Every structure is written in C-alpha cells, then in structure tokens.
C-alpha cells in the first residue's frame, strides 16, 4: 500500500458501514474503487459475487472492470455495471423482460414525431427539438413528478402532457419500456415485493458507486433499499462536478448523505494527480465561489510549475477566435504535441459549427465526443434555403410549402397542388382577394431582390425585409417558448454564409459540410490522433494535455437561461469541469463580440484570477476597456501596458488587483 496517499489508504481499507469519498479531479478515484474491491476480497474474505460496483456508462464500467482484472489477475467474478444494466437484470428476473422489450432511440423519435403531426400541434419536430422533449420525459419519470403540475420548457404545458400520455400509451401497447421505466418499475417492484428485495439484498452485501454526484432521486432510493439493512454503501464522487440537473442529479443528495446515514464517514481525496499547480489553484479559486458544497483544499501533486500555463485570450469575435485556435493548434503540433492530446470545450454543441468548418478547411483532424447537430437540418435553415432556391428558379411545390406562410400570407395549402408553382397563376386564382394578391406581388418582388444578393445579404433580407424574424417571434409567442435560441440559430446561419460570393458556392459548401459532418459523427471515435471537440457536459471524465475553452462570455457561460443561484452554481461547476480537464496547458478565449452583439467576459474567468499576481515585465494582461496588452515597465506602484490597439496606459497595481483586471498568462 506504499504507493497510496494516507487518504487513499483510508478509503481502500474501509470495510463495513457507509462511507462517502469526496474525490476531486484527478484524485485517483478509479484506483481507490478497484483496490477497495480487491481488499474486500483478499483481506476481509468477502465473496466476489456479493460485491456490486455501479457506475454511469457502459464504457466506464468496462474500463473499471478491466483495471480490476489487471490488478487481480482476472481471478474474481465481481459484478461491474451501470444503474440501468443492474435494474434491468432485476426486472428480467422478475418479469421475464428481454432486450427486445427496450425501445431504441430511433423508435422514440419516430413515435413522438408522428404524434406531434397527428395532433397538429404546430411544432417543427426537428431532431434537436425531439431530443429536448425526450430529455424532459426522462426527467419527469426519473424524478417521479406529477405530470399535471409539470411545466415544459419546450412546449405548452397541455401539449407536453398530451405527448407524454401518448408516448406512455404507445410503449404499453407495444410491450416496450425505456431506460427510465427500468428505474420506476424496479422501485415499484421493491416497494411491492419485500421478498424479492430481500433476495437482492442478500446477493449484494457490499455496494460501491462511482460518480455519486450524478445520481438522481429514484436511483438513490433504490440504492438505499438495496444496501439495507447493513448499509455497506461506499460512494465516490465530487459534488463540485455535479452537472446533470436536467437528469435529476443534484449535489444535495451528496450533501445529505451524512444525514441519511448517521454512522457514515467521509474521506477527502485532496491531491490532484492530473493538473499542474497553476490550473489546480485557479480551479480552486473558481469553485470556492459556490456556497452549496463541501469545503475542500485540493492541491496539485506537481510543485514545480515552471511557466504559467493559463492563457486567457481576448479576441474580436468568433471568426478571430477560430483563427487564433488554429494558430495555437499549429504551434503545439510544431512543438511535437499530438492532436489527440488536445481538446476544444464549449458550453453547448451549437457553438462549434464555425470552428468545425475551419478545422475541415485546414485539414486538422477532429472527433466529436457528442454527435454535433447539423445546423442546416434545422427547420429555420430549411426555410431560408427554400427562399433562396425559389429565387434562383426552383419553383417546386416542396419549396413553396416551406415558405408560403412564413410569414403568413394567408395562402391555402390546397392552392399549391401542382408539382411546380407559378406565382402568376396563383395571383389569378386569388384575383378577387386584393389583400392576398398584394402579398403575392410583394413576395415576387422580394424573390427578385434576393436573387441578386450575396448569401449573407440575401439571408439578412429574408430575415428583416421579408419578415422571417417576425414570423419566428410569433412562432415562439404562440408556443410560449424562448425566442433567443431561434435568433441565435438565424445569426449563426447568416454568419456562416459570410465570404461566399454566390448562392452556388454557399450550397456547395453546405453539401460538403453535411457530408463531412455525417462522416465525423459516424466515425467520431475511430480517429486515434485527432482533436476532441466536446461540450462541458461531455468532457466530464476526460483529460488532455492542452484544453481550449471557447466563448467564455456571459450568456454563454453562464448560460443565459441560468438565472437563479442554484442554476448559476451548476454553470460554475460546468466551467470547473472544463478547466480541470487540462493537465498542463489551458487556453480560454473571450470574444468581445458574438454574432455582432457586444459580449462581456464571463464572471468565471474573473473568478479564476489571483488578485495578488506578480506583475512582471512581459506578462500579458487583459483589460476590460483596453483589451489585451503586455507589461513593458513596472515599478513598485504602477505598470505601463502596451496594448494591442497601439496605445499605452499607466495602471496602478492596487487598482488592477482591486478590480481584478489582471489576467495571468
């Protein structure tokens, strides 16, 4: 046991009763879990089949089992699994379920899409929209919420209740269950059949749980039932990395563990074996701003830090951000750093479209941790492209159906019966209705204008001249959903069209982009040496030598939808997760403008900064007013900064520290 710290040894050697291990980033939690299982078997004589190890993904369970087999010589038959695999095993024994009873993801989408169409609810059921609805259905089930009192973020409450009811009925009628049903049915089974519960309690005498901060309430309830009456429950996690509230996870479960198990102990793994001292300390300053957490003092295992490796780069806009990232990647590869040791981390997967395009252009290999949605598959992109195609002469019925009443021109779909639409003929049909004829004349003139514009100007005209922006605002008002997300999508489509001289060039690019993206999403785990692109959620559990965090501005991180203190604390935890993925190098990019709108540096960047920084000549600083510059002279009280804009400023050290304007680079 000499290779372990005192904290690790205390956790590994624990035998009976409940114990919570607070395991910060890079603290060796997997090692602790595997060696604790080994100790239970080889030192304390526990039968291997009476030990259950639970984690959250199949990949994590497989990796942990492989590491356990490696240190034990593949000798013992201990069970490693996910919550869902364990609970399905229980249901399989009780009810005879097979994998054929589990609904697959594509069938979920098909079911929901058909029901939305059949009910004529007026929502455009894109994959992204349906993904959000599926996530909400999962949340309602896993938290066992009253559907009658639940308010959906994506649909009118009554519409969501109808779709939820339809979905459940379709599952029942087809003899199917989803992953959330596994939890609900297992809980109901244990509540109703104490004899069955006791048989599983006798089997699983020692239970170990990895990533405990990700547990939701129903999982926790079942876990407590399984562990009783001996409560040999060993949970490992980090409340500072609880980032899945949309799945029902909450740090409150970890914070309440000592109250639920009065005789439980707590072990803190306080050494970070992953991150450099600079990154560990900056992350600690950041997360200390959260109130609802266990206090910790995480230290790096690496004392000699050499150069400061946190670089906070203020850039003009997303375009300059992408160019700077490309330059930084090239600089690292020239220094011999493999692509596979780098990662780009964003708040959501919608922020990386333009960067992905840039990486494709420069033939820099990358892989997606999560499947990136194709922005050109969104109904907004589809509508905009339909306008352009008609302007260019493609008068097919399918194009006209996408735009004719967006905005509303009061044209009946029945009038669009031919495969090819003739506007003049349509005007003749409505010759007795001056208002509709006038609408069609305006449309005809708009299409002529769009034809002669560049793609960027054409999209701008469709939005503001034709009235598509107002249509989207009305679309959102009617459905009682936020407008900003749709406006962001329109802004991004328009921004990505910059630089194309003709619609043909733009359409060629879209076709190439879609093909490339399909291939990347299909084989996103097949490239051994490629930059990883991940969201803050998706980066959890990963580590890289060099990390690039993009769009570190207010309304992106923290996200604009996060307003109350609890939501802001989760946003801070997400940023903390992103920061602590980096071993040595951390680049954070702060655009001053996002899609033409002025942006403000994220508060999280400011919170990482050490006010007592040593202001030496040559240190790069970031000033909120003057931008980025280099200290060219320093005395006891002041520094002279030469800013990139060309002007120099004399700044007082006390003023800099007080206002936290200094950025350590």
As a whole number of angstroms, the distance between CA 555 and CA 484 comes to 11
Query: Distance between the two ends of the chain, CA-based, in angstroms?
Result: 39
How sure is the predictor about 499, in pLDDT bands with cuts at 50, 70 and 90? confident
Q: Which of 194-203, 378-387, 544-553, 603-612 has the lowest mean pLDDT?
A: 603-612
Mean pLDDT of all residues belonging to the chain:
88
- E strands of 273-335, at which residues? 299-300, 310-315
pLDDT over 70 at 620, yes or no: no
Give the residue-averaged pLDDT of 193-215: 95
pLDDT at 610: 59
Q: pTM of the prediction?
A: 0.82
Angle at 246 between CA 27 and CA 231, to 5 degrees: 55
What is the β-pairing status of strands 366-368 and 310-315? unpaired
Give the residue-averaged pLDDT of 380-409: 94
pLDDT digits (tens, 9 = 90+) for 587-600: 999 999 987 889 99
Q: Which of 40-54, 268-282, 331-345, 610-624 has the lowest mean pLDDT?
A: 610-624
pLDDT at 260: 94
pLDDT digits (tens, 9 = 90+) for 437-473: 999 999 999 999 999 999 999 999 999 999 999 999 9
**Is omega for the bond preceding 46 within 30 degrees of 0, making it cis?**
no
Task: Show the tokens assigned to 513.
Answer: 């982009």
The full DSSP string for 522-578 is HTTTT-SS-EEEEETTTTTT--EEEEEE---BTBBTTBTT--SHHHHHHHHHHHHHH
Q: What is the dihedral of CA 524, 526, 529, 533, to 10 degrees?
A: 10
User: For residue 462, what are the CA distances in angstroms to 365, 375, 465?
Assistant: 35, 18, 6
Radius of gyration of the chain (CA): 28
The candidate with the shortest Cα–Cα distance to 290, out of 238, 246, 325, is 238
pLDDT at 307: 47
User: For residue 528, what are the CA distances in angstroms to 513, 523, 524?
Assistant: 22, 11, 10
Q: Which residue has the higher pLDDT, 176 or 657?
A: 176
464 three-class SS: helix
Most confident of the ranges 207-221, 417-431, 502-516: 207-221
Q: Which residue has the higher pLDDT, 458 or 651?
A: 458
Q: What is the dihedral of CA 461, 463, 467, 470, to 10 degrees?
A: -160
Tally of CB atoms within 10 A around 409: 17
How sure is the predictor about 338, in pLDDT bands with cuts at 50, 70 and 90? very high
How sure is the predictor about 399, in pLDDT bands with cuts at 50, 70 and 90? very high
As a whole number of angstroms, the distance between CA 432 and CA 140 comes to 52
Q: Which residue has the higher pLDDT, 649 or 150?
A: 150
The full DSSP string for 221-278 is HHHHHHHTTTT-EEEEE-GGG---GGGT--HHHHHHHHHHSTT-EEEEE-EESSS-HH
Q: How many residues does the chain have?
A: 665
What is the β-pairing status of strands 342-346 and 544-549? parallel
pLDDT over 90 at 48, yes or no: yes
What is the β-pairing status of strands 79-82 and 206-209? unpaired
How sure is the predictor about 261, in pLDDT bands with cuts at 50, 70 and 90? very high
How sure is the predictor about 624, in pLDDT bands with cuts at 50, 70 and 90? low
As a whole number of angstroms, the distance between CA 664 and CA 541 comes to 26
Matching residue, tokens 């020239």: 334
pLDDT at 665: 40
Query: Could you tell me what percent of the chain has a pLDDT over 70?
Result: 94
**Is omega for the bond preceding 357 within 30 degrees of 0, making it cis?**
no
pLDDT at 663: 45
Distance of CA 441 to the CA centre of its chain: 45
pLDDT at 132: 86
Most confident of the ranges 342-346, 372-376, 619-623: 342-346
Task: Show the tokens assigned to 97.
Answer: 């379920």
Matching residue, tokens 């506007």: 423
610 three-class SS: coil
Task: Show the tokens assigned to 470.
Answer: 């107002």
Most confident of the ranges 353-367, 384-398, 509-523, 615-629: 384-398
How sure is the predictor about 583, in pLDDT bands with cuts at 50, 70 and 90? very high
Tally of CB atoms within 10 A around 89: 16
List beta partners, residue 127: none
Burial (CB count within 10 angstroms: exposed 0-12, middle 13-18, buried 19+), residue 217 = middle
Number of H helices, E strands in the chain: 25, 20
As a whole number of angstroms, the distance between CA 658 and CA 458 comes to 48
595 three-class SS: coil
pLDDT at 488: 84
């Amino acid at each position: 046991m000499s290779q372990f710290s005192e904290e690790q040894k205390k956790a590994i050697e624990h035998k009976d009763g409940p114990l919570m291990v607070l395991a910060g980033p890079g603290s060796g939690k997997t090692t602790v879990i595997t060696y604790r299982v080994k100790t239970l078997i080889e030192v304390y004589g526990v039968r291997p089949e009476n030990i259950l190890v639970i984690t959250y993904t199949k990949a994590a369970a497989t990796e942990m089992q492989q590491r356990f087999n490696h240190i034990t010589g593949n000798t013992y038959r201990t069970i490693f699994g996910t919550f869902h695999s364990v609970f399905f095993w229980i249901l399989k024994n009780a009810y005879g379920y097979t994998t054929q009873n589990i609904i697959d993801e594509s069938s979920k989408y098909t079911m929901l899409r058909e029901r939305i169409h059949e009910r004529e609810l007026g929502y455009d059921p894109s994959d992204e929209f349906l993904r959000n609805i599926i996530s909400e259905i999962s949340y309602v089930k896993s938290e066992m919420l009253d559907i009658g009192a639940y308010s959906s973020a994506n649909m009118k409450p009554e519409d969501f209740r109808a779709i939820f009811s339809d979905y459940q009925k379709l599952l029942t009628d087809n003899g199917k269950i989803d992953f959330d049903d596994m939890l609900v049915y297992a809980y109901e089974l244990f509540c109703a059949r104490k004899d069955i519960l006791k048989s599983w309690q006798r089997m699983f005498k020692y239970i170990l749980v990895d990533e405990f901060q990700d547990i939701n309430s129903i999982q926790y309830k079942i876990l407590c039932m399984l562990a009783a009456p001996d409560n040999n429950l060993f949970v490992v996690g980090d409340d500072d990395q609880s980032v899945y509230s949309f799945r029902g996870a909450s740090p409150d479960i970890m914070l309440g563990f000592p109250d639920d198990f009065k005789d439980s102990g707590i072990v803190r793994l306080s050494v970070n074996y992953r991150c450099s001292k600079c990154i560990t300390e900056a992350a600690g300053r950041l997360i200390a701003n959260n109130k609802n957490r266990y206090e910790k003092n995480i230290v790096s295992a690496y004392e000699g830090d050499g150069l400061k490796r946190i670089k906070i780069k203020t850039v003009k806009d997303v375009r300059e951000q992408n160019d700077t990232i490309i330059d930084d990647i090239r600089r690292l590869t020239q220094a011999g750093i493999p692509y596979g040791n780098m990662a780009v981390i964003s708040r959501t997967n919608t922020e990386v479209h333009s960067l992905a395009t840039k990486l494709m252009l420069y033939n820099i290999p990358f892989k997606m941790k999560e499947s990136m949605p194709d922005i050109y598959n969104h109904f907004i992109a589809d509508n905009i492209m339909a306008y352009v195609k008609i302007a260019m002469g493609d008068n097919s019925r399918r194009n006209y159906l996408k735009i004719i009443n967006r905005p509303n021109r009061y044209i009946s779909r029945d009038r669009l019966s031919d495969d090819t639409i003739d506007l003049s003929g349509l005007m003749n049909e409505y010759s007795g209705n001056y208002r509709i004829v006038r609408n069609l004349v305006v449309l005809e003139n708009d299409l002529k204008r769009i034809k002669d514009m560049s793609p960027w100007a054409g999209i701008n005209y469709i939005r503001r001249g034709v009235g598509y922006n107002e249509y989207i605002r009305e679309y959102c008002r009617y459905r009682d959903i936020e407008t900003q997300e749709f406006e962001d999508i329109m802004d991004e489509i328009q921004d990505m069209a910059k630089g194309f001289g003709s619609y043909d060039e733009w359409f060629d690019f879209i076709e190439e982009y879609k093909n490339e993206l399909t291939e990347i999403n299909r084989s996103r785990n097949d490239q051994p040496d490629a930059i990883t692109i991940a969201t803050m959620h998706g980066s959890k559990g990963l580590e890289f030598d060099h990390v690039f965090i993009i769009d570190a501005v207010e309304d992106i991180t923290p996200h604009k939808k996060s307003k109350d203190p609890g939501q802001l604390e989760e946003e801070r935890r997400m940023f903390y997760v992103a920061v602590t993925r980096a071993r040595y190098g951390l680049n954070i990019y702060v655009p001053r403008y996002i899609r033409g709108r002025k942006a403000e540096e994220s508060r999280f960047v400011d919170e990482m900064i050490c006010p007592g920084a040593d202001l030496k000549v040559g240190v790069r600083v970031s000033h909120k007013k003057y931008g980025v510059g280099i200290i060219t002279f320093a005395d006891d009280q002041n520094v002279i900064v030469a800013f990139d804009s060309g002007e120099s400023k004399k700044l007082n050290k006390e003023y800099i520290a007080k206002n936290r304007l200094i950025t350590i680079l």
